[in-house]
Amino acid sequence: MKIAVLPGDGIGTEIVAEAVKVLNVLDLKFEMESALVGGAAYEAHGHPLPEATLKLAKESDAVLFGAVGDWKYDKLDRPLRPEQAILGLRKNLGLFANFRPAICYEQLVDASSLKPELISGLDILIIRELTGDIYFGQPRGRRTAVDGHFPGAEEAFDTMRYSRPEVERIARVAFEAARKRSKRVTSVDKANVLETFQFWKDIVTEIGKEYPDVELDHMYVDNAAMQLVKAPKKFDVVVTGNMFGDILSDEAAMLTGSIGMLPSASLNSSNQGLYEPSHGSAPDIAGKGVANPLATILSAAMMFRFSLNQAEAADRIESAVKDVLASGLRTGDICSEGTKRVGTREMGDAVVAAITKKTITG
């Protein structure tokens, strides 16, 4: 097994270092190799996704990714911005299925801005299509308008598009995932306005017939955004396109009050995957040693489960994280009265200690 370790920018380096510490105490055989990505790679090699980094990612079974981006790169040409690294990895590795769980940890119920009764026990799985839609649709660019409200004016445009196989395969991923959970899928679209999403809705409905044991409903994206804050527990598996999934997954993550806790996985059809925390590079707290490494550590757990076929290692990591939370340790983002505030490194050390203790006592 080979793992590509791509820490990236901002807090990425700090949190990935803690996840690597955890990997190292598992007593498993795998190779790890690190490479630069994002702004860090741009500084060193003039490109956010250098050839060597892409090659390493391609030849690995899994990629453990930190975060990319910093405001200081906002003025660069788009192809050189840090975000292009993650988009390039998704595209080149064909990582079309993005799993973003939004789970409310019982001990962190008070960290949410919603009332505890609304989110206590919350466990949503957002499945976001990740290689299509307006993110990657061609053509796109700037030009002089030939029609529209202001012919002759400068304009910019992107293309929203989905092909049948793209929708079919992500729908199947969602129905399969639902079978392992509460057997409910909500497909989120904008079929009332957009041709692309009427097509999406029709195809998801068609594929749904292959899964008569799974209940399927459809919701417009604006209503879904509203229902997520009104009654989030009504959702189980949510499947949607790239753009809507980007927005709804941030909303769902924040509902739990603990975006610093949420892992994510992006898989291709051969189960090769990229694993990253749901949060970003947080340049405002980078280098201070206060970031929460748990989302990255939990992403490593997902990596063992989905790409490396080591469910037992995943269980060990997840149960160690639960033990650490139960012991009252908290990083600043999830800290509340009566808990002990710790930094990034102490949190990583505590997870390592919980794993080694379990290994010794069996």
Applying CB under 5 A, which residues contact Mg ion? 246
Which residues are CB-contacts of 136 (< 8 A; sequence separation ≥ 6)?
A: 87, 91, 242
* Amino acid identity, position 89: L
- Of 135, 162, 211, 275, the catalytic one is 135
Active site residue 250: yes
Active site residue 27: no
State the burial class of residue 32 (Cβ atoms within 10 Å of its Cβ: 0-12, 13-18, 19+).
middle
Dmax of the chain from CA atoms? 74
- Of 202, 250, 323, 349, the catalytic one is 250
Count residues contacting ligand IPM (CB under 6 A)?
Answer: 4
User: What backbone phi and psi angles, to 5 degrees, belong to 60?
Assistant: -95, 160
For residues 224, 227, 229 and 230, what is the CA-based torsion angle, rounded to 10 degrees? Answer: 170
Q: Residue 6 or 355: which CB sits closer to ligand IPM?
A: 6
Q: Do 127 and 97 touch, CB atoms closer than 8 A?
A: yes
> Nearest-CA neighbor of 277 among 255, 256, 301?
301
* Among the residue ranges 54-62, 80-88, 104-112, 347-355, the one whose residues contact ligand IPM (CB under 6 A): 80-88
Q: Determine how many CB atoms are found less than 10 A away from the CB of residue 219.
A: 19
Angle at 237 between CA 235 and CA 238, to 5 degrees: 80
Residue 335: name its binding partner from ligand IPM, Mg ion, none (Cβ under 5 to 8 Å by kind).
none
Q: Do 271 and 115 touch, CB atoms closer than 8 A?
A: no
Active site residue 77: no
Residue 215: name its binding partner from Mg ion, ligand IPM, none (Cβ under 5 to 8 Å by kind).
none
Which residues are CB-contacts of 234 (< 8 A; sequence separation ≥ 6)?
A: 227
* Among the residue ranges 14-22, 81-89, 101-109, 150-158, the one whose residues contact ligand IPM (CB under 6 A): 81-89
Q: Report which DSSP code applies to 102.
A: E
Q: Give the CB-side neighbour count of residue 143, counting CA atoms within 13 A.
A: 10
Q: Using the rule CB under 6 A, is 86 a contact of ligand IPM?
A: yes
User: Nearest to ligand IPM by Cβ — which residue?
Assistant: 83
Q: Least CB distance from residue 87 to ligand IPM, whole Å?
A: 6
- Measured between alpha carbons, how far is 18 from 293 in angstroms, rounded to an integer? 6
Q: Determine how many CB atoms are found less than 10 A away from the CB of residue 357.
A: 11
Residue 103: name its binding partner from Mg ion, ligand IPM, none (Cβ under 5 to 8 Å by kind).
none
Residue 87: name its binding partner from Mg ion, ligand IPM, none (Cβ under 5 to 8 Å by kind).
ligand IPM
Q: Least CB distance from residue 158 to ligand IPM, whole Å?
A: 13
Q: Residue 1 or 76: which CB sits closer to ligand IPM?
A: 76
Q: Determine how many CB atoms are found less than 10 A away from the CB of residue 234.
A: 13
Active site residue 135: yes
Q: Least CB distance from residue 336 to ligand IPM, whole Å?
A: 27
Q: Least CB distance from residue 269 to Mg ion, whole Å?
A: 23
Q: Residue 159 or 336: which CB sits closer to ligand IPM?
A: 159
189, two tokens: 């679209």
Active site residue 42: no
Q: Least CB distance from residue 296 to ligand IPM, whole Å?
A: 14
47, two tokens: 């490109």
| Alpha-carbon 22 to chain mean position | 20
The residue within the footprint of ligand IPM, chosen from 17, 76, 83, 289 (CB under 6 A), is 83
Q: Using the rule CB under 6 A, is 87 a contact of ligand IPM?
A: yes
- Of 27, 222, 234, 288, the catalytic one is 222
Residues 199-258 that bind ligand IPM (CB under 6 A): 246
Q: Residue 83 or 158: which CB sits closer to ligand IPM?
A: 83
Residue 259: name its binding partner from Mg ion, ligand IPM, none (Cβ under 5 to 8 Å by kind).
none
Q: Least CB distance from residue 230 to ligand IPM, whole Å?
A: 23
Q: Which residues bind ligand IPM (CB under 6 A)?
A: 83, 86-87, 246
| Residues with catalytic function | 135, 190, 222, 246, 250
